[in-house]
Amino acid sequence: MTQLQLIRDPDCALCKLCATADKICQMGFGNPRANVMVVSKMSNSDAWQTELESQLSDVGVDLDDVYWSQAIKCRTFDQDASNADIKACRTYLDQEIEQVKPKFILALGNEALLATTGRSGITKYRGRIHDRPDGIKVIPTISPSAVKRSPGQLPGYYADLRLFVNQVLGRKSGIRKPRYAIIDDREKLDILKRTLPRVKDFCFDIETVDDYYQKTGKIVSLSATCVLDDGKLFVFALPLYHPESPWRKRWKAVLEYLKPELEALERVTAHNGSYDVKWMRWHGIRMRFTFDTMLALHLLNENIQKGLKPACQARLGVEPWGIDTKYLLDKPLLAILEYNVLDTWYMYHLKLQVVEELAAQPMLVKVFKFVMMDGVNDLVDSEMRGIYIDVERLIERTPIAQAKLEEIEADVLEKAGLQKDGRLLTPDQPDGVEDWPVAKVLKTRGPVYSTPNLNASNFAKWMLFDHCGLPIISRGKDKPDGSPGDPSMAEDVMLELRSSHPVVQPMLDRVEWQKMLSAFLLPYAELYDEDHRIHTNFKMAGTVTGRLSSGKNDEDKISVGKGKVRGVNLQQVPRNPFIRGLFGAPPGWSFVECDYSQIELRIAAFLSRDPTMLQLYRMGADIHKSTAATVLGIPESQVSKDDRKKAKAVNFGFVYGMGWKKFIETAFTKYQAVFTEEEAKAVREAYFRQFDGLLPWHGRQRNLVNKYGRVQSPLGRIRHLPDIYSPDKEVRAEAERQAINSPVQSFGSDLAVMSMVEINKRFRKLGLAGHCVGLVHDAVNYEIRNDCLREALPIIQDTMEDMSRLERRFGVHVDIPILADIKVGTRWGDARELTREEVHDWAA
């Protein structure tokens, strides 16, 4: 003990915390020879310590064998510890570890994770075993205080604690490992082929190298845990492309051999099956899958980690398993097969659990089936098909944008009074002048540009705020060391400075062109395939509300730039026809976009029961126009197009709880509309007088989330909002606003997905040549062969607007009209909106 206390430095000033700490540099306590060290963020209060001890005791930790320590040795609640503070403090913890020599460390919270492993990101690393260079095993989990704030985290937290104690006691997991058949000769392959028709549930997983659409893409193995018609389990591993595999040269033929049986499977289960199914379809096996454990987990709790491994560890208490899948072909085949099998084995057990939980909530089962599973299977088609891009236009427009950008940048430098060819700012920059140039550039380790970097870089900030002398209106976040953040170059700031200096306007202009090039034109040029199509990756579990997210695969995010990697976000294609008009339909086909008209506002009317909104929608009135008239205090007939646009900001903002302050801000940045404080307050008041059902609805949602910690969409989708239990009232208020928005957004998005599924179904039934190429929250995009337009257009619009399926499936009666607008053209950006008559009489 004395030895340990010697580590302490009561005069420590390595970080800023000592300024407010009630006791500086406090060491840990407990058994100085313990096998187990528990590291918290700071020293715990007595109450916390008692609770923590009882939790650990619950799962079987011997409290006499524990040394209790902290990442931060100074205890203070007046300021937050930054990563730098934690790192500074590590010296004491390291010495403690050195002296105590524990075999296992339980790290509670991100601070403790950082202090014991040097890694940051507790949600990523929790529940995994980290081997320190000194041989000590660290198991991180979330902090007990996070669990207090979010009681939904409790099961996962306890699972991590159990994993920890199992490691300490050398215990194995609850689920025994399976025996499985390795299909490595013709006879076994035939047995498999004969067995597949008896399979009632096929829980499968594949191991792969590279991407499915590349020539180098191979399926290394396929495994499944199968439930047979007699209820027995059959587990197999089929080696495919691997140096040690008997099928290494015939792996595609093997798949082809099993194709009829695989395609006939009744129930197919996978974890993130979109991935596996894409591979199978690419290799000619037209599989649909019926149960995705990842999507089920997401539906049950949108806030938790959805990976197979963390989920199984948390729910089944199994030990971490797995191999490094990076250079799969160099790994021993048997290890791969074992890993592959375990994935399916645990997936099967996971499914047993989640099926039970879903079954207890019949509404969720329907969302799962009709929105998620139906949706994800159709989205796989859309992703694989891709969206057609007009390569000629792309090639033509890219240099236009580049030239425009160069021109603007030259203008910027000229207006700033700088030379255009580099960092030299004034002629004959003498050495030692305290200016931007060489000295400062060389001090930073970033790239040294031959031309100035006018993005929000140090150079640009120097140019605007030092060289041109613009006032600093707002700054970014404070630096970790407490110094003030960098001056902001955000759009609203620039807009405000526009009149102060001629350099500002071209700076504003260049942002738009820079973004177009770097975020759209250049990536598109890299990503289109030989059929001139661009592919995205839709995630059904990518958002907390049930919306889809779109973009690259997670794995691909790292390797982007190292070659052609698929995946572009098709939900953020600029509305500007210069970009949006690049997408469209191939020759002979048309691009059709059908989007719900003001869907979220209609849903807000439906849910809030606001009489005025309901009335307006039932009359077919233009609610944005009406709002414009109300807030501007003018008759509707005098509302201009611009006024209507402003009213959109009003509607969408106020419906979800925006205050007058934020309203002034968004009205200015988004619509260049200037409101004074009084005007903004008056507008807000007028708005809620006009729609006097909205605030009571907000109140109802607030009550619900306060009472239950969650809210539900009309279809039963649940949004868990544990932040409502936060001691911080701003955090609670945020949860309340989310409680208002969530059911609306959720319902709207489920409507769009179900419409897509139904449209696809009807197209298939009628044999129409029309394919969904994307879904943008409240809009579906289709490519339709021209000769099918006549039949297809009314189907699309009618299906979108038809709410009778909802009534039949969910018993939800939508009592206001839901309308969808339809646009047809050869290109997305150029498409023309059709009247109802035109939709139903396209031939003309």
Partner DNA sequence: GCAGACTGCGCG
Partner DNA sequence: AAAGCGCGCAGTCTGC
Binding track over 690-729 against DNA, x by CB under 7 A: ---------------------------------------x
Distance CA 124, CA 93 (A): 23
Q: Does 672 bind DNA (CB under 7 A)?
A: no
Using the structure block, give the residue that is written with the tokens 């619509």: 671
Least CB distance to DNA at residue 5 (A): 27
The answer to whether the beta carbons of residues 233 and 226 sit under 8 Å apart is: yes
Q: Does 175 bind DNA (CB under 7 A)?
A: no
Determine the size of the site formed for DNA (CB under 7 A). Answer: 82
Q: Name the helix (H) or strand (E) containing 182.
A: strand 181-182
d(CA 328, CA 282): 20
Q: How far is Cα 189 from Cα 195, in angstroms, rounded to an integer?
A: 10
Is 477 a binding residue for DNA by CB under 7 A? The answer is yes
Q: How far is the CB of 516 from DNA (least distance, A)?
A: 8
Is 490 a binding residue for DNA by CB under 7 A? The answer is yes
Q: Cβ of residue 547: shortest distance to DNA, in angstroms?
A: 6
In the stretch 217-236, what mask flags binding to DNA with x, by CB under 7 A? --------------------
Q: Which 1-60 positions form the footprint of DNA (CB under 7 A)? A: none
Cβ atoms < 10 Å from Cβ of 600:
20
Task: Report in angstroms how near the CB of residue 224 gets to DNA at its nearest.
Answer: 29
Quick one: which of 130, 133, 110, 131 has its CA closest to 122? 110
Figure out which of the listed residues 182, 220, 258, 489 binds DNA, where binding follows CB under 7 A: 489
Cα separation values, 45 from 24, 49, 324, 530, Å: 16, 6, 41, 64
| CB closer to DNA, 44 vs 651 | 651
Pick from 45, 518, 640, 703 the residue near DNA by CB under 7 A. 518
Could you tell me the smallest distance in angstroms from the CB atom of residue 494 to DNA? 7
582 binds DNA (CB under 7 A): no
Q: Is residue 511 a contact point for DNA (CB under 7 A)? A: yes
CB of 674 to DNA, least distance (A): 17
- Amino acid occupying residue 656: Y
User: Stretches 43-51, 140-148, 225-233, 654-662: which one binds DNA (CB under 7 A)?
Assistant: 654-662
Residue 661 interacts with DNA (CB under 7 A): yes or no:
yes
Give pairs for 186-191: CB < 8 Å, separation 24+: 189/238, 189/254, 189/257, 189/258
With CB under 7 A as the contact rule, which of the stretches 51-59, 245-253, 379-387, 657-665 interacts with DNA? 657-665
Residue in 445, 441, 443, 465 with CA at minimum distance from that of residue 453: 441
Q: Which of residues 731-760 bind DNA (CB under 7 A)?
A: 733-734, 736-738, 741-742, 745
CB distance 580 to 828 below 8 Å? yes
Closer residue to DNA (CB): 156 or 657 = 657
Residue 493 vs 834, nearer CB to DNA: 493
Between 161 and 820, whose beta carbon lies closer to DNA? 820
Q: Which is nearer to DNA, 512 or 791 (CB)?
A: 512
Q: Contact between 192 and DNA (CB under 7 A)?
A: no
Under the binding rule (CB under 7 A), the answer on residue 597 touching DNA is: no
Other C-beta atoms lying within 10 Å of the C-beta of residue 483: 8
Which is nearer to DNA, 30 or 109 (by Cβ)? 109
Q: Is 659 in the site for DNA (CB under 7 A)?
A: yes
- Residue 118 binding DNA, by CB under 7 A: yes
Q: Which of 127, 310, 567, 722 binds DNA (CB under 7 A)?
A: 567
Of 120-128, 158-166, 217-225, 582-590, the segment contacting DNA by CB under 7 A is 120-128
List the interface residues with DNA, window 80-109 (CB under 7 A): 83-84, 87
Contacts by 484-490, CB closer than 8 A, 24 or more apart: 486/461, 487/461, 489/456, 489/460, 489/461, 489/464
323 binds DNA (CB under 7 A): no
Contact flag: residue 512 with DNA (CB under 7 A)? yes
Part in contact with DNA (CB under 7 A); list of ranges 250-258, 312-320, 413-421, 474-482: 474-482
> DSSP letters along 190-259, please?
HHHHHHGGGEEEEEEEEEEES-TTSTT-EEEEEEEEEEETTS-EEEEEEE-SSTT-TTTTTHHHHHHHHH
Binders of DNA among 752-811, rule CB under 7 A?
776-779
Give me the torsion for CA of 691, 695, 701, 702, rounded to 10°.
Answer: 170
Taking the C-alpha atoms of residue 100 and residue 111, their distance in angstroms, rounded to an integer, is: 20
- Give Cβ neighbours of residue 99 (< 8 Å, ≥ 6 apart): 3, 4, 7, 32
Strand partners, 803: none
The neighbour count for residue 714, using CB atoms within 10 Å, is 21
The rounded distance, in Å, linking the Cα atoms of 205 and 223 is: 6
Considering beta carbons, is residue 192 or 705 the nearer one to DNA? 705
Q: Would you count residue 422 as binding DNA (CB under 7 A)? A: no
Dihedral pair phi/psi, residue 500, rounded to 5°: -80, -30
CB 235 within 8 A of CB 202: no
Distance of closest approach, residue 35 Cβ to DNA, in angstroms:
28
Cβ atoms of residues 111 and 142 within 8 Å: no
Shortest Å distance, C-beta 537 to DNA: 8
> CB–CB of 219/340 below 8 Å?
no
- Among 412, 381, 404, 384, residue whose Cα is nearest residue 521: 404
Contact residue for DNA among 197, 417, 480, 482 (CB under 7 A): 480
Tokens of 245: 């595999």
If binding is defined by CB under 7 A, does position 662 make contact with DNA?
A: yes
Contact of 64 with 42, CB cutoff 8 Å: no
Residues paired with residue 349 on neighbouring β-strands, in sequence order = none
| Residue 306 makes contact with DNA by CB under 7 A | no
577 lines the binding site for DNA (CB under 7 A): no
Which residue from 111, 595, 610, 643 is in contact with DNA, where contact means CB under 7 A?
Answer: 595
Q: How far is the CB of 679 from DNA (least distance, A)?
A: 14
Pick from 3, 57, 214, 572 the residue near DNA by CB under 7 A. Answer: 572
829 binds DNA (CB under 7 A): no
**Under rule CB under 7 A, residue 557 binds DNA:** yes
Instruction: Single out the segment in contact with DNA by CB under 7 A; choices: 233-241, 267-275, 490-498, 760-768.
Output: 490-498
**Cα–Cα dist 234/254, whole Å:** 19
Least separation in angstroms between residue 209's CB and DNA is: 19
For residues 437-466, which are near DNA according to CB under 7 A?
444-447, 453, 455-459
The residues in 251-280 that bind DNA, with binding defined as CB under 7 A, are: none
Q: Which stretch binds DNA (CB under 7 A): 132-140, 365-373, 391-399, 648-656?
A: 648-656
The C-alpha R_g of the chain, in whole angstroms, comes to: 30
Under DSSP, the state recorded for 520 is: I
Contact call for residue 519 and DNA (CB under 7 A): yes
Q: Does 127 bind DNA (CB under 7 A)?
A: no
Q: Six-digit token pair at 787? A: 């000769």
Sketch the per residue contact string, 376 through 395, with DNA: x for CB under 7 A, - otherwise: --------------------
Residue 150 binding DNA, by CB under 7 A: no
Per-residue x/- track, 531-550, DNA (CB under 7 A): --------x--xxxx-x-xx
Contacting residue, 523, 709, 743, 829, with DNA by CB under 7 A: 523
CA nearest 106: which of 59, 152, 74, 175? 59
652 is an interface residue for DNA by CB under 7 A: yes
Closest CA to 69 of 7, 17, 121: 7
